[in-house]
Amino acid sequence: MNNKDKLMKNFQKMNQGNFFTIEIPTVTEKDKSTIEEWVKELEHEGKIKVRECISRENAVYLHGIIKYASE
- The mean pLDDT of 50-54, rounded to a whole number, is 93
Total domains in the fold of the chain? 1
Whether residue 71 is contained in a domain is answered as: no
Whether residue 55 is contained in a domain is answered as: yes
Give the pTM: 0.75
C-alpha 7 chain-centroid distance: 6
Is the predicted pLDDT of residue 37 greater than 90, yes or no?
yes
State which residues form the domain around 38: 3-66
User: How many other CB atoms are found less than 10 A from the CB of residue 60?
Assistant: 20
For residue 42, the domain's CATH number is 3.30.200
Kindly report the average pLDDT of the chain as a whole number.
Answer: 85
User: What is the pLDDT at residue 69?
Assistant: 47
